[in-house]
Amino acid sequence: MLIVMKSAASGEEIQAVIERVQSAGARSHLVRGEEVAVIGAIGDREHVARLGLEGSPGVDSVVPILKPYKLASSEVRQGERSVLEIGGRRVGGEHFALVAGPCTVESRDQTLATARIVKDAGAMFLRGGAYKPRTSPYAFQGLGEAGLRILAEAKAETGMPIVTELMDVRDLEPVLAVADVIQIGARNMQNYTLLTEVGRAGCPVMIKRGLSSTLEELLMAAEYVLKEGNENVLLCERGIRTFETAYRFTLDLTAVPVLKQLSHLPVIVDPSHAAGRRDLVEPLSLAPAAAGADGIIVEVHPAPDEAICDGPQALHCDDFARFAAKLDQVAAIAGKRIGAAA
How many other C-beta atoms are found inside a 10 Å radius of the C-beta of residue 23? 10
Residue (6 or 116) nearer to a copy of itself, CB: 6
Number of residues that bind a copy of itself (CB under 8 A): 109
- Say if strands 295-301 and 315-316 run parallel, antiparallel, or are unpaired: parallel
The CB-of-148 to a copy of itself minimum distance in angstroms stands at: 16
Cβ atoms 151, 133 nearer than 8 A: no
The CB-of-237 to a copy of itself minimum distance in angstroms stands at: 11
Q: 279 Cβ partners below 8 Å, 6+ apart?
A: none
Q: 63 Cβ partners below 8 Å, 6+ apart?
A: 1, 2, 3, 4
Site for a copy of itself in 242-301 (CB under 8 A): 242-247, 250-258, 261-262, 274-280, 283-284, 286-292
Q: Is 87 exposed, middle or buried (0-12, 13-18, 19+ CB in 10 A)?
A: middle
Binding flag, residue 25, a copy of itself (CB under 8 A): no
CA nearest 64: which of 189, 255, 216, 223?
216
Query: What is the Cα gyration radius of the chain?
Result: 23
Chosen residue from 13, 18, 36, 116 binding a copy of itself by CB under 8 A? 36
Site for a copy of itself in 167-226 (CB under 8 A): 167-170, 187-188, 190-193, 196, 210-212, 214-217, 220, 223-224
Residues 178, 301, 136: CA angle, nearest 5 degrees? 75
The CB-of-304 to a copy of itself minimum distance in angstroms stands at: 7
Chosen residue from 117, 148, 240, 324 binding a copy of itself by CB under 8 A? 240
Residue (112 or 280) nearer to a copy of itself, CB: 280
Cβ atoms 27, 44 nearer than 8 A: no
Site for a copy of itself in 101-130 (CB under 8 A): none
Residue (160 or 284) nearer to a copy of itself, CB: 284
The CB-of-215 to a copy of itself minimum distance in angstroms stands at: 5
The CB-of-189 to a copy of itself minimum distance in angstroms stands at: 8
Site for a copy of itself in 40-79 (CB under 8 A): 40, 42-43, 46, 49-50, 52-56, 63, 65-66, 68, 75, 78-79
CA nearest 167: which of 188, 197, 144, 189?
188
Cα gap 74→63, rounded to integer Å: 21
Residue (159 or 283) nearer to a copy of itself, CB: 283
Give the H or E element holding residue 59: strand 59-63
The CB-of-288 to a copy of itself minimum distance in angstroms stands at: 7
- Length of the chain, please? 342
The CB-of-197 to a copy of itself minimum distance in angstroms stands at: 9
